[in-house]
Amino acid sequence: MSATACKKSQAPDAASGFASPTNNDLHSTVAAGLGAGYKSGWFRSDLTVDFTPPANYSGQIVTPGDVAAKVTTTTLLLNGYLDLGSWYRMTPYIGAGAGIANLNISDYQSTVAPPFGTVKARGQTNFAWAGMAGVAYALSQNVMVDVSYRYLNLGDVMTSSDAFGNMRLSKITAQEVRVGLRWNFEDQPLGR
């Protein structure tokens, strides 16, 4: 399974006494994942793990891009889906998931908000949740192509600290267009 993700941080917070960045952008990146699950009638569930390589963050305090970092994400979600029927080999569905997200922030750079200079990468594990909708197309009785949209809430991540404090990227979310393959061990009807 693969995905294209557009992530954003809605409210970065600088250490007390320093200005917080504006014009924040957590750039789009490509993610990859795997999952395994169970299907019974119209209900499906699966456990998925997804990895997003470093996404570049940039913010502005004085000049564009004067705050920068990289954010890497790994998620583990338990998901449930409702298939809404099948027509002409297509099966639309809706779903939701909950689990954990491990966010790692590295390569933080700024001369206007702490930490100043080079600091170690820092990881943080948060509760994560998702909502999704999509459609699967049956290529055969065992293989389906799945195209979906997923909203993913990942929580916050903080940089390491120096003597002046740290930076927190708050409310990190991703809006993803996902494309993947599903394999069914049992033959599935192809629909009308």
Number of other CB atoms surrounding residue 114 within 10 Å:
21
CB contact set of 40 (below 8 Å; sequence gap of 6+):
none
Whole-angstrom distance, CA of residue 129 vs CA of residue 13: 22
Residues across the chain:
192
Helix (H, G, I), strand (E, B), or coil: what is residue 79?
A: strand
Whether residue 192 is predicted with pLDDT greater than 70 in this model: the reply is: no
Whole-angstrom distance, CA of residue 176 vs CA of residue 178: 6
Rounded average pLDDT over 52-75: 93
Tokens of 119: 């600091």
Confidence grade of residue 8 (pLDDT, cut at 50, 70, 90): low
Which CATH number does the domain 2-183 belong to among 3.20.20.70, 3.40.50.1980, 2.40.160.20, 3.40.228.10?
2.40.160.20
Whether residue 68 is predicted with pLDDT greater than 60 in this model: the reply is: yes
Residue-wise pLDDT tens digits, 107-155: 999 989 999 888 899 999 999 999 999 999 999 989 999 999 999 999 9
Q: Looking at residue 118, what is its pLDDT? A: 81
Alpha carbon 17 to chain centroid, angstroms:
31
**How far is the CA of 73 from the CAs of 15, 50, 60, 84, 190, in angstroms?**
23, 8, 23, 31, 36
Whole-angstrom distance, CA of residue 151 vs CA of residue 24: 19
Cβ proximity of 135 and 118 under 8 Å: no
Number of other CB atoms surrounding residue 40 within 10 Å:
7
Q: Which residues are 31's β-sheet partners?
A: 3
Higher per-residue pLDDT: 10 or 149: 149
Looking only at Cα atoms, what is the longest distance across the chain? 67
User: What phi and psi, each to the nearest 5 degrees, are found at residue 186?
Assistant: -100, 145
Whether residue 9 is predicted with pLDDT greater than 60 in this model: the reply is: yes
Q: Looking at residue 63, what is its pLDDT? A: 93
Q: Looking at residue 4, what is its pLDDT? A: 59
